[in-house]
Amino acid sequence: MRRILAGVLLAAVARASAVGQASEAVKSELARERRRLVSDSRSLADVSRRLESALSQLGAASRAVAEAAGKSDAGPDEISRREDAVSESEQEVRALLEKRRLLADRIVERRRSIIALEAELVTKKPPDSVTGRWVVTLDPGSQRGVFRMNLDGTIVSGEYTLDGGYSGSLRGTLVNDRLRLERVDSRLGFSAVFYGRVARDAASIAGTWEATTFGNGGTGAGVWKAVREEEREENP
């Protein structure tokens, strides 16, 4: 009887330890997501201020063209120069609008992630829909590879290999059917972020990716898809 009780106690302690470790992982990821949210919010405020200034400059440049066109003594070179200033302002506005959109989308995803992580601390684990081996394709370029992922609550970890000799680790979160992965390459470091949606049957994932490193001549963004592949036992 004592041995049975001792076994039960050991099993209970092991379960408690595993739950505690999972909770700590969730807490750590929650803290990181909150820090990222603060950083992204500050960046959004800064980009918004820059956008307001750029729009004001665009308006002033547009008025300058109209004023020059209305003057009888304004030469074609002056009008052309002022129109060039309008084009430069337009390019800056477009670039800032795109940055603002990306930041706003990222903030929405972070808030969703935070809500799910907070719920994870007080609720049971969601169904596991990403653990396993996935055959992936990255476009543009049709780069193929394999993702091996493991889900612990809402925390995703794993490793990958890609054509070209690339390999490294994966880390991220799964919020409902929304997957966010950070790619940490063994040579390039933190090199990309993947956003995806897991299919209802948990057999495929599709989404977009963004590079975090620039200047190496590669593509900065694209789409990706993954298809679950059954694990095969190797012959002895």
pLDDT tens track for 168-214: 999 999 998 999 999 999 988 999 999 999 999 999 999 999 998 76
Q: Domain check: are 115 and 185 in the same one? A: no
Cβ atoms within 10 Å of 130's Cβ, excluding its own = 22
Residue range 23-50, pLDDT digits in tens: 788 888 889 999 999 999 999 999 999 9
Residue 27 lies inside a defined structural domain of this protein: no
Q: Domain check: are 182 and 138 in the same one? A: yes
pLDDT higher for 187 or 216? 187
Model pTM score: 0.49
Residue 16 lies inside a defined structural domain of this protein: no
Residue 170 lies inside a defined structural domain of this protein: yes
Residue 211 lies inside a defined structural domain of this protein: yes
* Cα gap 13→146, rounded to integer Å: 36
Residue 166 lies inside a defined structural domain of this protein: yes
Residue 68 lies inside a defined structural domain of this protein: yes
Domain count across the chain: 2
Return the pLDDT at 66: 84
For residue 97, which phi and psi values (nearest 5 degrees)?
A: -60, -40
Write out the H or E segment, with its range, that includes residue 174.
strand 166-175
Q: Which residues contact 97 (CB under 8 A, 6 or more apart)?
A: 51
Q: Which two tokens stand for residue 48?
A: 């918004």
In terms of residue numbers, what domain contains 214?
Answer: 132-229
Q: Domain check: are 140 and 201 in the same one? A: yes
* Cα gap 77→80, rounded to integer Å: 5
For residue 110, which of 48, 193, 191 has the smallest C-alpha distance? 193
Q: Domain check: are 113 and 161 in the same one? A: no
What's the chain's average pLDDT? 83
**Contact 92/86 with Cβ under 8 angstroms?**
no
Residue 74 lies inside a defined structural domain of this protein: yes
In this prediction, residue 69 has a pLDDT band, given cuts at 50, 70 and 90, of confident
101-105 LR contacts (CB < 8 Å, sep 24+): 102/210, 103/40, 103/43, 103/44, 103/47, 104/44
In this prediction, residue 123 has a pLDDT band, given cuts at 50, 70 and 90, of low
Q: Domain check: are 44 and 79 in the same one? A: yes
